[in-house]
Amino acid sequence: MKRAVLYMRVSSVDQHPETQLHDLRSMAAQRGYEIVQEYTDRISGVKARRPGLGDLMRDARRGRFDVVLVWACDRIARSTRHFLEILDEFNRLNIEFVSFRESIDTSGPLGRAIVVIIGAIAELERNLIVERVKAGMRRAKLEGRHIGRQPLQVDREAIRCDRRLGQSLRQIARCHRISTATVRRVLANQPEEQVA
């Protein structure tokens, strides 16, 4: 009987991995795998540091399992390159990779080829989304719409006056509802004749 581990990842704390968990446990039972560990990350896929994945890879290097089951390929890696690195390491460690959604099993050469193709398509899709967002931002800029945070409106003269009256940077910042760093910038940019 092969020893299997399950890896689940959800993008935010308000999502739940139970759907993935149910499907993966069923698949493991159908294939006759013994589940020896379950790893879960509640974090965005693009984040480099994922504790659950780190634990999984550490246990893989220690030879604690034979098969990794994931709900989808994009759950385990943040990019095609990262995905291929993980698969390459699994291959060196003689660990099989099985994806529920894509019905991929790397125990055979066809499964390994399909994984590479699917990973490339997933990365292409993410890159296309990024390009669409950038194009939308360029269009908005050309139309004269402001992109990003509105510029901070501060009464520079009132800030300088408060400082001349002896108020501390913190008091001025609190009064004007701005940061002390902003107060420092305003005071640093005052005309030469006012600098004491």
Residue located via tokens 């139309």: 143
How many whole angstroms separate alpha carbon 147 and alpha carbon 137?
A: 7
How many whole angstroms separate alpha carbon 112 and alpha carbon 102?
A: 12
- Bridge-partner residues for 3, per DSSP? 34
Q: Which of 11, 79, 107, 179 is catalytic?
A: 11
11 an active-site residue? yes
- Bridge-partner residues for 96, per DSSP? 67
- DSSP-based three-state secondary structure for 174: helix
Listing DSSP states for 49-89 in one string gives --HHHHHHHHHHHTT--SEEEES-GGGT-SSHHHHHHHHHH
Are 140 and 148 in contact by the 8 Å Cβ rule? The answer is no
Tokens for 131, please give them.
């390009």
Are 5 and 36 in contact by the 8 Å Cβ rule? The answer is yes
**Which positions are catalytic?**
11
